[in-house]
Each structure stands twice: as structure tokens, then as C-alpha cells.
Amino acid sequence: MIETSANSVIEPGIGDSDAPEKNISPAPQRDENRPRSGKQPRQNNRRDKRDVHGWVVLDKPIGMTSTQAVAVVKRLFQAKRAGHAGTLDPLASGGLPIALGEATKTVPFVMDGRKRYRFTVAWGEERDTDDTEGRVTQTSDLRPSAAAIQDLLPQFTGLIEQIPPQYSAIKVQGERAYDLARDGETVELKSRPVEIHHLTLVEQPDSAHSVFEAECGKGTYVRALARDIGRILGCYGHICALRRTLVGPFGETDMIPLEQLEALCDRAASGEGSLADALLPVETALDDIPALAVTRADAARLHRGQAVLLRGRDAPNCSGTVYVTVAGRLLALAEIGNGELIPKRVFNLTGLTASPARSNERV
């Protein structure tokens, strides 16, 4: 599983092209009645972009890249800005949180949250990509018992060292590791610490497959887990199915399949619904951060980028990052320190936002 930074959510699409097709036709005849200096106005067939603010947690289908998913959602909403909170491999399905508009300012808070995966390991083969797409590099006739797997799992729980897969987005001397690997180069990646909060064996449908669930921190590669477990057991293994069920505050109940989202957009276009019903509020990403309500006067200062003094018996007895609201509406991300509230990110939520019904679901 590849993790990306908030600034790298727009990755190059594979096989995509924005170049228009070339049409060869006879030169048009000039209108003799039109002044020579006159120019025909260009026809604009593109739909106007609009301000849309909130989260769409797409239940990404297998075979779609995260970049393609962002492009589809951005087009459906005609949104000006969009990005995602952590890449999900094309062979994986499940939760891909897509931030629209001002929600892009909260992407780091989602990426720093826990992720939960359900994945199936096929035993007997190790592959260079650590999943079904790769070339077989090691084989074994051994098949692990459930007891042997259970005894090994504590070694992969807690803070561990993990070597990322060769086919990963990590940069090596300015190049992506997967680009170097595709060119036939041997990529030597250094191990790094990752945290596995929970790792359980869910079921073993047959001797050649095992189903796991893992809850882990930022930067963990589930494909590397399958590889390393297989090596220690001596049977080798690779991921053959992977689904993400949790990303930060977003779980399976928040996910919307692409077909359902497209149907909702069609109904909204015909006046039978609203796209706001598919949005979760921007502040959903901030569930783990304390909220602080301020007066309208203080809100005006914060909106201008000015600090607000915190004094009196109602002053918060805390420090660090808070999200600020005024009259129940998200205003800013701010830092409390030295008796002041200092704005760091101010939100402008003018435009399409989550419907009140979706907002109440998170209360």
C-alpha cells in the first residue's frame, strides 16, 4: 500500500491524454459581410467549475488508480479543487477519502490517522511486486498451519522495522522506486519504523490462502507484511486481495460506491436530489482535534489572520491545535499558546457544502 503526502495527491495518470483529436477539413469560407477585424467568439463546451467543499469517501473499485478516482469525482461535482488522502493501489478496493475545495486543507489530518485493511495472502509464491501483478521470484511447496501463523503475528505487532516493496512510490535519488524497478534496476530500500496496532488471522479458507485484518499507522505497506511473513514461515507469499476499511475518521459506513455516486449526480442534474447529500463536512477530518467556539467579533479578527487574546474564566485550559467555529460553522484551524489563539488555516465555505442531514450523522 502506497502512502503519499498531501502535496502529491495529483499523480500522473497512466495512459491519459488531454490532447484533442485533430480534424482535417477544408478551410471555411470567409463571410464577406463580416468586418475583417471581427473575431468569432470561441464556443466554450466545458462546464463551469464551482466551489464545492467537503469529503467524498469513495468505495474505490478494483482496477482504478487513485488519480483516476479523484478525476472522476472532481468531474461529477464540477469542483475547482480536489485531492485524496492516501493512495490506494489499483488492485485494492475500499475507502479512498477525496477532499473537495476547502477540505484539501485538512488532508494531512486524515493521512496521519490509522488505516485498517482486510487482505488475503496466497502462499507458495513470492513476487517482485508483492501482489498478483508481479513476476514470480521464489516458490515453495510448504503451506503454513493456522497455529504457525498465529505464533508469528506478535513479531509483526507494535513498532517494527519494515523494508518497503521495490514497487513503491518512495524516491531513490530523485526517482520513484517503481519506475526504477520497471526499468529492470535492483532497488535497495532502507528499512524504516512503522506501527502495527493490530494484526489478526481472520480465516484460512484453504491451505494455500489466509485472510488477515491489520490496523496500522502511516507509511505501512501491507504488501510488505505478506512478503515478510511468508519468508519467515518459509512458504513465501503475496497479496491476492486487498480492501481498505478505515482511513482516519472514515469507515465503511461513510463509503459510497462509484455507481451510486454517479446515479446521485444524475438525479441531482434532473432536479431530483442534491449533490450535498454525497458530501461529508470538511470538519469530519478533524474529529480528533478539540473544537473551540468563538464570538462573531473574535471570528472577524481570526478571519483577517489576526490573533485573539484568550482571557477570563471561559478561556480554554489547553494548548496546541484546535478547530474554531462560529455559530456552529467551521472557521479556522488555530494554535493556542501564550494566552493567544493564532489562526493557521482559515476556511471559506462559500459554495456547495454537506447537507444538514449528513452533518448531523457525524454528531
Q: Is 261 helix (H, G, I), strand (E, B) or coil?
A: helix
Q: Which of 288, 353, 279, 275 is nearest to 320 (CA)?
A: 288
> What residues are annotated to the active site?
89
Torsion angle, alpha carbons of 329, 247, 245, 164, to 10:
170
CB-based contact 84:98 (threshold 8 Å) = yes
Which residues touch 53 (CB under 8 Å, ≥6 apart)? 100, 101, 102, 103, 279, 282, 347, 349, 351, 352, 353
Helix (H) or strand (E) holding 347: none
Q: What is the CA radius of gyration of the chain?
A: 25
Which residues touch 73 (CB under 8 Å, ≥6 apart)? 56, 58, 79, 82, 98, 100, 261
Q: Is 95 helix (H, G, I), strand (E, B) or coil?
A: strand
